Every structure is written in C-alpha cells, then in structure tokens.
Structure 1
C-alpha cells in the first residue's frame, strides 16, 4: 500500500510540475523541486551528523549530478511528450542496469520486449503530428541519468544511511541547478502563485514518496518491491490522463505495456537493480 501510494504521489507531483511549466519553465520547476526537497530531506535526515570523508565526496557529487540531470532532462522531456510515454522511456535506464547486471541468457527476452516497446513508438515520432523527437531523446537521456543515479547510489549507500545519502545528493543537485533556474526565471520563482505549487511538487515528488518507499522496503521483499515499481509507467499514464487530460493512442499504451513487461521480467531475478529513484 505504501509503495502504491508513493508511485501515485510521485506521478501526481510530476503532473503538478507540468502545470508549472507555463509559469516558470522546466528549469524553474526543477529549481523549486530540488530546492524545497533538499531543505526538507536535510531537516529530516540531518546528513551533517555523518558527512562523507575525503574521496567519498566524489561519489556523492556524481550521484547528486545524476539526480539533478535526471530531474531537469525529464522535465524538459515531459514538456514535449505525454507523461506516461516519458516515464516509460525513462525506465529504459534502470531496466538496462538490471539486465546488464544479469548473467542469464533468458533475460534477452526482456531486452526484446523493451526494444519492441520503443520501436512501436518510432512511427509516432513526428514533430507536427506525433511525439516530439526532442522529447523522446530527452526522456532517454533522463533514463541514462537514472542509471547513473542507481549505480552511484549503490556506491554511496555503503558509506552512510540511505536517507542521508539522498539528502546529500539532493543538496548537491540543488547547489548546481538552483542558480541556473534562478538566473533563467528570475523573480517569477518568487511569485505567490508559484511558491506553494513548487513546495507541493518538492514534497510530492521527493520527500513524501521517498519516505513511503523506505517504509515499503522494510515490509516487503526486494523482488516484490522491484516488481511493483515496474508498474510506474502505467501509473504515470493514468496520472497524465486524470490530471493533465493527456490521451494516449492504443499503440502508445501497448508500447508502455511492453516496457512494463520487460521491467517485471527483469525484476524476477535476485538482487535486481530496478530500484526506486527520484523522478
């Protein structure tokens, strides 16, 4: 229940974030999300009590850069393409990590499912009548950042608690991207129309779902957690439909279904790397 609520919260937060784009753009929305999330998570987990030492900072910084890169490229992507499609394409990142870490030949089947899902979207990639090609590429780049987030998150996770790692990573991401958003959008970020929505996005997209996922991980097997997380593209598509009124074609729904099947299949292995992340 906690994990399902976390997925609904994340994708609802993404839908609200998309509504901020006309006011402050994806870069301004990223600034608000990362800024508020970093403050809330640092207050909750107090990472200053056990700061990394020496070379450990290198992994934390790369982890934070991947987190920030994932956020801003994903927001740039869903500015151009539907939320459900964006999440499905972004899922190729953690899916690739899970499949490349596997030594089982039968996992090539799940690669085929994922590729089939992407190939189904190719005929619909058209700037004027279908999916924006730039949005598709940006979603795939966000997936690559997600893969880096997982890999460096595992490395930094051995250095401190998960909560402190995410708080530090969020702070690093905010350090690099908040100034960019502030310069880009200026005083628009200080509007009383924008600030409450930005705070809501920060809570719904990061602080609350991360806490719920930690509760879920303590109460369910890792494999079950990964399988449930594989449903996130469908949750995103439903959130996009209910909140943003984004209608998907039957072919797009089939493409999402194939990516979900690939994700579920890759999760049915011990120690799957299809872990949660901050979208």
Structure 2
C-alpha cells in the first residue's frame, strides 16, 4: 500500500493528487472487474447500494489521504489517519485499555499536528478527514465482506470511478505519457486492488482483535520507513514520538479469546 503511496507522491509533481486518485480508482476498478466479473445480481438492489456507498467512502478516503501526503510526510499522515480506526475500537468496547489506547493516539495526533499545523494546516485537515472516512470504511467494510464479498468491491470501485469522473479533467498529462499512465494505474493495483482485496479476506474471518491490532500497528511504521527510504522524509523528534504514541495506542486494545 505505501509503496503505491510513495509512487503517487512522485507523480504529484506532474499530475495533481485528485487526478492521481482518479487514476488509482480506474486502475483498481479495471483489475477487479476483469478478475471478479460480478453477476447481474451484484448490480441491483441492496447489494448494489451497499457496494456503491462503500466505494464512494473509500474513494473519498483515498482522495483526502492523497491530498494530505501531498503536503505532509507519508508516515506523519498515516499516523494522523489512525485516529479513525482507533476511535471505532474504543467506542465499540469502552474498556479501560481501549480508552487508554484512544488517549495515547489522541496525544500522538496532537503532538504531530502541533509540529505540522504552522507549515501545512490543510495537510492536517485532510489527514484527519481521511481518518473519519477510514472509520466509515471499517464499519461498512465488514458488512460488504460478509454480505457481498469481493464482487461488491469491484462494483463499488466501478461506481466510485464514474462518480469521480470530473477529477479525470486533471489527468491530461497522463494520457500524453505512457509512463505516467502506467504508473497511475499501477498505483491503483498496488495501493487499492491488492490491499483492499486482502482486507475483505481478513474481515470475513473471525480474527482475534488483539492480533489484528498488533498487525495494524505495523502500518505507521512501514509508512514511515517507506517515506525515509524512498522519499527521504525523515521525521523530526516530536513527530517520531507522536508516531510511537500512535503505534502503542493501536497495539493496546483489550485482548479477546480466540
């Protein structure tokens, strides 16, 4: 996912973040439609509207995230974005450990935001918007995984691609350059089709929440390392402490029996 994000950051010099988001949606939709070939039943009724809503929420989350990483380091933006899923976990449980996890994440978010607000307040706003949409993605994603499955993912991304088609107006440079077009669609495969399909597989299984939380805690770390290695984005000390607080908060939720 963050390899795709790193490629997207490099594309922003030639194509706008909104246009790269649309190319990402297009690439993911084409791959998933070719793979799944959803039946007619997936295009009507409750299944369609659920998939369409999920696709639009996911596209909005991706758009907000790309606008944030155009202004903030990759690891910083991902750490801010984690306020969403941790809030969902804390609200659904309300145990002391979950509340403590939310407090840790909130402290990390505030620390990072304090560092970045003067330089890019809009980047912080976009990252927190992505966090809110990620919370919605989690709530809808489970319903799609159980009720519709991967066919719903293909339908939802196709609907989102059509709905966001006005963003395609900014993709002009990509159509004149096979390299840019291939990279833009490749981002859709790397950052959307593969990781979100894996999300659906995981959400269909009864995964222990504590185990899943520990695995999620790796994401800000991998995003930060990707930013350092591929984009030369080294976090400041306050940012590093904030990211560490977020990682600790993600891994803290109350264990559940298998």
Return the TM-score normalized by structure 1: 0.83
| Corresponding position: 1:28 with 2:19 | yes
More deviation in 137-146 or 187-196?
187-196
Task: After TM superposition, give the deviation of residue 53 of structure 1 in Å.
Answer: 3.9
* Residue 203 of structure 1, aligned match among 166, 169, 189: 189
| Corresponding position: 1:148 with 2:136 | yes
Q: Distance in 2 between matches of 1:123 and 1:226?
A: 26
Write out aligned runs for 1:62-141 (5 A): 62-127=53-118, 130=119, 132-141=120-129
More deviation in 151-160 or 23-32?
151-160
Write out aligned runs for 1:184-195 (5 A): 184-195=170-181
Q: Distance in 2 between matches of 1:252 and 1:150?
A: 26
- The verdict on how the C-alpha distance between 1:267 and 1:245 changes in structure 2, with shifts beyond 3 A counting, is farther
Question: Which residue of the partner structure matches residue 157 of structure 1?
Answer: 145
Task: After TM superposition, give the deviation of residue 80 of structure 1 in Å.
Answer: 0.3
- The verdict on how the C-alpha distance between 1:100 and 1:49 changes in structure 2, with shifts beyond 3 A counting, is same
Q: Which runs of 5+ in 1 are unaligned?
A: 1-9, 272-279
Task: After TM superposition, give the deviation of residue 50 of structure 1 in Å.
Answer: 4.1
Question: Which residue of the partner structure matches residue 167 of structure 1?
Answer: 154
- The verdict on how the C-alpha distance between 1:213 and 1:125 changes in structure 2, with shifts beyond 3 A counting, is closer
Taking only aligned residues, the RMSD between alpha carbons, in angstroms, comes to 2.4
| Corresponding position: 1:47 with 2:33 | no
Task: After TM superposition, give the deviation of residue 235 of structure 1 in Å.
Answer: 0.4
Task: After TM superposition, give the deviation of residue 215 of structure 1 in Å.
Answer: 6.7
Task: After TM superposition, give the deviation of residue 117 of structure 1 in Å.
Answer: 0.4
Is 1:86–1:136's contact at 8 Å kept on the other side of the alignment?
yes
Is 1:67–1:149's contact at 8 Å kept on the other side of the alignment?
yes
Is 2:142–2:203's contact at 8 Å kept on the other side of the alignment?
no
Return the TM-score normalized by structure 2: 0.90
Q: Distance in 2 between matches of 1:243 and 1:81?
A: 15
Is 1:35–1:174's contact at 8 Å kept on the other side of the alignment?
yes
Q: Distance in 1 between matches of 2:257 and 2:25?
A: 33
| Corresponding position: 1:264 with 2:251 | yes
Task: After TM superposition, give the deviation of residue 200 of structure 1 in Å.
Answer: 2.0
Q: Distance in 1 between matches of 2:257 and 2:248?
A: 17
The secondary structure found in structure 2 opposite 1:22 is coil
Task: After TM superposition, give the deviation of residue 56 of structure 1 in Å.
Answer: 3.6
Count residues with an aligned counterpart: 257
